[in-house]
Chains A and B, each alone.
Chain A
């Protein structure tokens, strides 16, 4: 179900980052703000960059030219595909769970 396998404890931060980048490129601080506003999860800077480095190494995100020391990142084609796969999978899980709860 993971967007990228072998992310270990960074799988969840990585998913939140991919979702944050789904509507356009963002730099680190903007991602942290977006994630806390959307999901109420505060990603620490160490966690954010550990996950970013893994996503970049797997070719799921790519850096853009630096703007005033802050570097924006955007999803790659592979990143979009991986995110779509994972969200579809989560949607299936949610649908089954909700259906079972409704019939309980």
Chain B
């Protein structure tokens, strides 16, 4: 059952791997034990307690770092749009022309950029939420009881706020664009 150990992060394996493997050899391996070990591996990855032998801070900054990488492109895109079309500041390039409305409108590159810009904030938000939320379920006499708790670093909260703001802006843009387009079509038809 050593393969189960590979589910744990490297730093964790360096610190606990040998003794954990010895424990798995001693314990009877049942489906419940296997599920428990897999859950432990998820926990060790999402809320790491050790890294390279040193103890970590109580809050992992990894989800926030991943989010800021994901949010870089949409933020840059939005900044360029605001500068160019909102404030009339000449920018290095025309973002809409380059990515969305250029001659290669339906090219793979353009569509990929489109998807990345729109969905990156959603992915960033989900990454932080999944790492921050703890859902506990237990069977009690006659029913199911559950708790949801949230633990998140300020960095992660900031990443979630930026993600939400970007999702809001893009949603408003998509809705207003469709409403305006429908109004123009009605006007032209009428």
CB-defined A-B contacts under 8 Å, sample of 27? A6-B58, A8-B149, A8-B151, A27-B19, A28-B19, A28-B20, A29-B22, A29-B23, A45-B20, A45-B23, A45-B37, A46-B39, A46-B40, A46-B41, A48-B23, A49-B16, A50-B43, A50-B49, A52-B16, A53-B16, A53-B44, A53-B49, A57-B50, A69-B19, A69-B21, A70-B22, A70-B23
Chain A contact residues, CB within 8 Å of chain B: 6, 8-9, 27-29, 32, 44-50, 52-54, 56-57, 66, 68-71
Cα(A7)–Cα(B43), bound, Å: 12
Q: Majority SS of interface residues in chain A?
A: helix
Q: Which residues of B contact A27 (CB under 8 A)?
A: 19, 23
Cα(A54)–Cα(B50), bound, Å: 9
Q: Which residues of A contact B50 (CB under 8 A)?
A: 53, 57
Q: Which residues of A contact B40 (CB under 8 A)?
A: 44-47, 49-50
Question: A45 with B33: in contact, given A9-B136, A29-B27, A57-B49 (CB under 8 Å)?
Answer: yes
Given contacts A29-B26, A44-B37, 5 further A-B contacts (CB under 8 A): A8-B149, A27-B19, A46-B41, A53-B12, A57-B56
Is B18 engaged at the interface, CB distance under 8 Å to the other chain?
Answer: yes
